[in-house]
């Protein structure tokens, strides 16, 4: 496969580039895109073959789930039945931004959700019009890519499109928390520090 590198800083072609990536996602292709943390890779969650391909290129164990991407907080209602109070507080404080929240969903197990605070990512999610699963752009065990050239080095020929928006701002992955009705557990400390979450919730956070 010939991986296309599309420059989203090219304002005259911005919409066309994002639309091309959105169409590729609808067709079951893998697309890399920028976020404020690191670059990610997204796939159409409704296409089992696309999800399997993402596991394969990442060399990721099947038991490790990918997170859903949303472009509006209201979209979470399509993914989880109940939003605990702690999650509501975190969403108000840190979304859009570098926080992935893992919910317990009846019949589906844990469901991770990320609302990235990056215009290209938000436009891509909205333009795709299908549920998207995503993960950081790196082979498991290697550092996440923080620019398009590193994504190309890792995955050239295995992705349909890379949206190139220059280097990532934060250059560190999102923080991941698991929230239930009675607890908030930090699964991975990233761009948002533990003390920020603790101060936000005014409770002792388990680790």
- Does the pLDDT value for residue 35 go beyond 70? yes
The pLDDT, as a whole number, for residue 183 is 87
- What is the layout of strands, in order, in the sheet containing 175-179? 4-7, 161-164, 31-33, 40-44, 132-136, 67-69, 109-114, 99-105, 175-179, 184-188
Q: Where are the alpha helices (DSSP H) in 95-141?
A: 119-128
The pLDDT, as a whole number, for residue 206 is 54
Average pLDDT over residues 18-41: 98
Average pLDDT over residues 35-59: 97
Residue 164 phi/psi, 5-degree rounding, is -100, 110
Average pLDDT over residues 162-178: 98
- Does the pLDDT value for residue 207 go beyond 80? no
The pLDDT, as a whole number, for residue 181 is 85
- Does the pLDDT value for residue 111 go beyond 80? yes
- Does the pLDDT value for residue 205 go beyond 60? no
Average pLDDT over residues 73-93: 92
- Does the pLDDT value for residue 182 go beyond 90? no
- Does the pLDDT value for residue 204 go beyond 70? no
* pLDDT tens per residue across span 114-168: 999 999 999 999 999 999 999 999 998 999 999 999 999 999 999 999 999 999 9
Average pLDDT over residues 22-38: 98
The pLDDT, as a whole number, for residue 81 is 87
Mean pLDDT of the chain: 94
Between CA 45 and CA 59 the distance in angstroms is 18
Strand stretches in 8-69, DSSP E: 31-33, 40-44, 67-69
The whole-model pTM stands at 0.94
Determine contact, residues 21/6, Cβ cutoff 8 Å.
yes
- Does the pLDDT value for residue 105 go beyond 80? no
């Amino acid at each position: 496969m010939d991986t296309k590198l599309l420059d989203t800083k090219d304002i005259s072609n911005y919409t066309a580039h994002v639309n091309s990536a959105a169409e590729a996602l609808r067709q079951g292709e893998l697309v890399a895109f920028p976020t404020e943390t690191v670059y990610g890779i997204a796939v159409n969650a409704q296409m089992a073959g696309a999800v399997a391909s993402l596991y394969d290129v990442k060399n990721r164990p099947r038991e490790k789930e990918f997170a859903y991407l949303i472009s509006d907080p209201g979209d979470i209602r399509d993914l989880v039945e109940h939003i605990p109070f702690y999650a509501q507080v975190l969403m108000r404080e840190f979304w859009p931004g570098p926080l992935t929240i893992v919910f317990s969903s009846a019949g589906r197990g844990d469901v991770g959700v990320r609302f990235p605070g990056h215009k290209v990512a938000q436009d891509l999610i909205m333009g795709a019009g299908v549920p998207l699963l995503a993960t950081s752009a790196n082979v498991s065990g290697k550092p996440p890519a923080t620019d398009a050239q590193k994504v190309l080095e890792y995955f050239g020929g295995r992705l349909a499109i890379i949206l190139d928006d220059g280097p990532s701002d934060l250059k560190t992955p999102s923080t991941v928390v698991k929230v239930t009705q009675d607890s908030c557990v930090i699964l991975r400390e990233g761009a948002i520090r533990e003390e920020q979450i603790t101060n936000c919730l005014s409770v002792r956070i388990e680790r």
